[in-house]
Amino acid sequence: MSFEYDRKLMRFVEVTDAAPVPLSSLEDIATASIIGRISSGTGKPEVLTGEQAKEILGVADGATGPQGATGPQGATGTTGATGVGVPVGGTANQVLSKIDSTNYNAQWVTAGGGGLTNWTDGINSSAPNATIPVAYLLTTNAATNVDASIVPKGTGSFSLAVADNAIAGGNKRGQYAVDLQLFRDTETNVAAGDYSFIGGGRSNEANASYSVIPGGFSNYIASGATWASIGGGNANSINSGGTASRIGGGTGNTINASFGTIAGGGTTVSGYGAAGNQINADYGTIPGGIGANTPIVGQFSYSGYLPFLSTGDSQTSILIFKNRTTNGTAQVLTTNSAAASTNNQIICQNQQAITFTGTVTAKQKNSTNCASWKIEGCVVRGANAASTVLRYSLVTNLFNSSTWTLVAAVDTSNGGCKLTFTGAASTNIQIVAVIQTSESIYV
C-alpha cells in the first residue's frame, strides 16, 4: 500500500501500488535534486525546481536571515587619466583662483576672504571725524615709500560715482575722462567729453573733448568747444563755437567764439544791470570786470564796473587792424586781414556811438620806406546799419616817405567806420593800425 498527495483534496490518499521500479532504471540526476511530478496527468518523474518542490510540499519562504559578515576588500582598480586645470604646487591653506575666462585656467593663491593685498582698510571716528567718520584704505606694502594708483582698463574713465543716468551717479563719462565731482543737480553734470576733466565743485559740466573745469559751481562747456577750460567761479559758459577758449573765473561769463579769453569778472544780481562778460567773435579777450562784449574778431574789451543795462553798453576796446598790399588798389584794413564785414572793422551795434583814436604804421618790404598816421573820429549808428553816420574824423600824416594814403570813411553796408589804405603799384607794403575806443549804447 502507498499514498500520494492530492493537491485538490490537500491530503494524502491511498493508491494502488504499482510494480516496484528499481533505482537503476532511473536516469542519472544531480546531487541534492528532488524528483516528482508537477504537471497534471501521468508521466515520468522529473527533477523539480526549488519553487516547484516548495509548491508540492506547501512550504513558504522563511524570514530573511541576518546579514553575513563583510567579505574581504577587493583588489585596487587601475589608475584613471590625469585631470586638467589643477596646477601643481601651492602651499598649505592656499586656494584655487580663476585667472581668466579660459576653462580650467587657475592658480594657487593665499586665501584672504576676497580682500586686497598690500592694503588695509579702516575707519576713523575720532575728532574731527566723530560726527562724520572716515573710512579709508592704507597701503601696507613693506617698501619704505609706496605710490598708490587705481587704474581703469582700456579706454575707461575714472570717477567717484557709478554712472546711472540719474542725479546720483550721472551720465556715462567720456573715454579716458576723470570726474572727481561728488554733487550734481542734473545727470548731465559730468565729464562727458573724451579726455575731459572735472576736479570737483558742484554741478559742473564738461562735454567737449579735452575740456577742463577744475572746480566751481554750475560751469558749462558745450560739446563743440574742444580744448576749452573754465578755471572756476559760477555759471560761466563756453558754448559750442568756443574752441580753445578760456574763462579764468568770475560769474556769468560767456564765450561763443573760438580762442577767446575772459580772465574773470562777470555779472551781478543787483545794481544797474545783470549782464556777464561775453565773447561773441573769435580771438576775443576780456580781462575782467562786468558786462563787456567782444563782437569783433580779436577785440580786447573792458567794462569795469556794472553796465547800465546790457552787455557792452559802456566799455572800452582795443582793436588791431592788419593787411598787406602789393599794388595801388585801395585796401580796407580789418582785424583778420579778410574782406570787410560786420565783425572785423570799427562796427557799431544798434544805438551805439564809438569814439576812436589810434596810430597807423605802414612799411615797405625789405626797405626803410614807411609811413605813419594818427587817426581819430566818432561814428554813431541808429536802428540799423544804413543809419550809420561818421560824425567826425581826422587823419594826421606824421611821416610818409611815399605817396601812400589813409582814409577814414563811413560804411553803411556793415554799420561802422572803415579805414582804407592805398599803396603803390608793384610795391609790397604791410599796414598795422592800433585803435582804442570808448563805446556807449543807449536805447
Q: DSSP secondary structure string, 353-420?
A: EEEEEEEEEEEETTSS-EEEEEEEEEEEE-SSGGG-EEEEEEEEEEEESSS-EEEEEEETTTTEEEEE
Average pLDDT taken over every residue of the chain: 88
* 295-to-289, 311, 385 alpha-carbon distances in Å: 17, 11, 15
* Cα 338 from Cα 244, distance rounded (Å): 22
Asked whether the predicted pLDDT for residue 14 surpasses 60, the reply is yes
Could you tell me which residues are beta bridge partners of residue 290? 266
Confidence of residue 274 (pLDDT cuts 50, 70, 90): very low
Residue 347: which region, alpha, beta or left (left: phi > 0; alpha: psi -120 to 50)?
beta
Asked whether the predicted pLDDT for residue 86 surpasses 80, the reply is no
CB 359 within 8 A of CB 399: no
Name all contacts of 299-308 with Cβ < 8 Å and 24+ positions apart: 299/335, 303/265, 303/277, 306/268, 306/271, 306/272, 306/273, 307/272, 307/273, 307/275, 308/272, 308/273, 308/442
Answer with the residue of higher pLDDT: 295 or 37. Answer: 295
Asked whether the predicted pLDDT for residue 3 surpasses 70, the reply is no
Q: Write the pLDDT tens digit of every residue in 107-127.
A: 887 766 556 789 999 999 999
* Cα 335 from Cα 328, distance rounded (Å): 21
Residue ranges of the domains in the chain?
2-57, 161-312, 318-441
* Cα 56 from Cα 53, distance rounded (Å): 5
What's the distance, CA 205 to chain centroid?
12
Q: How many helices (H) and strands (E) does the chain have?
A: 1, 32
pLDDT of residue 194: 98
* Cα 258 from Cα 241, distance rounded (Å): 6
Answer with the residue of higher pLDDT: 248 or 112. Answer: 248
- Whole-model pTM: value is 0.68
Asked whether the predicted pLDDT for residue 267 surpasses 60, the reply is no
pLDDT of residue 27: 65
For domain 318-441, the CATH class is: mainly beta
* HSE of 45, CA atoms in CB hemisphere, 13 A: 14
Which range (114-118, 180-184, 315-319, 436-440) has the least confidence? 114-118
Which ranges of 300-350 would DSSP assign to H, the alpha helix? none
Asked whether the predicted pLDDT for residue 13 surpasses 70, the reply is no
pLDDT of residue 271: 37
Tally of CB atoms within 10 A around 430:
15
| Percent of the chain residues topping a pLDDT of 70 | 88
